[in-house]
Amino acid sequence: KTAMQIVEIMKVVEARHPVVMATRVSAEKSAEIQAALPQATYFEMARICAIQPSVPLAIRPGKLSILTAGTADLPVAEEAAVTAELCGFQVTRLWDVGVAGIHRLLSNRHVVDQSDVLIVAAGMEGALPSVVAGLADCPVVAVPSSVGYGASFNGLAPLLTMLNSCATGIG
């Protein structure tokens, strides 16, 4: 969509709902959007342009945590985190805790144990969601990212790993 198409859509939605989000927005497009809609905020890492209510939404119950295997997964994870926060959820972020440095995950085990839902983003071979699901007693949303080198096949390898996981509770 063009920036002006996004502006028109956001205006229509804003009249009906207190939160409006446009995802996968480039910094250049967000500048055009913000020129037309000064109330819009741009979340650069998440690539989200949003209109937020003047009064914050009520905090939703539950503990949502988002984990990444590596720093290359941050844009995907931040998109999920900002979306959840805009919808009223409190989010715990745990970045760069992949299986290549499993000690980082294990030293943050309390985050996994205290969560009601976990969103886990991973590229490369996509092993982190299976490991986390093996530790957790709550639902795990596995999110493959297209980062990685070698045989990650632009995200296909982590997707297949996540689909083939034998750990329970993964979606």
Q: How many residues does the chain have?
A: 171
Domains and CATH numbers, the chain: 3-51 (no CATH), 64-164 (3.40.50.1970)
User: pLDDT digit string (tens) for 75-102?
Assistant: 999 999 999 999 999 999 999 999 989 9
Rounded Cα distance, 102 and 35, in Å = 45
Query: Residue 25 in contact with residue 49, Cβ under 8 Å?
Result: yes
- pLDDT score recorded for residue 162: 85
Query: Residue 116 in contact with residue 62, Cβ under 8 Å?
Result: yes
User: pLDDT digit string (tens) for 120-134?
Assistant: 999 888 899 999 999
140 contacts: CB under 8 Å, gap ≥ 6: 117, 118, 119, 120, 129, 132, 133, 167, 169, 170, 171
Query: Residue 37 in contact with residue 8, Cβ under 8 Å?
Result: no
> What distance, in Å, lies between the first and last C-alpha atoms of the chain?
30
Q: How far is CA 113 from CA 22, 57, 63, in A?
A: 32, 26, 10
- Report the pLDDT averaged over residues 47-51: 98
- Report which of residues 149 and 170 the model is more confident about: 170
Residue 165 pLDDT class (50, 70, 90 cuts): confident
Residue 161 pLDDT class (50, 70, 90 cuts): confident
Residue-wise burial string across 28-67, b where 16 or more C-beta atoms lie within 10 A, e elsewhere:
ebbebbbeebeebebbeebbbbbbbeeeeeeeeeeebbbb
Residues of the chain with pLDDT > 90: what percent? Answer: 74
- pLDDT score recorded for residue 150: 66
Rounded Cα distance, 65 and 70, in Å = 15
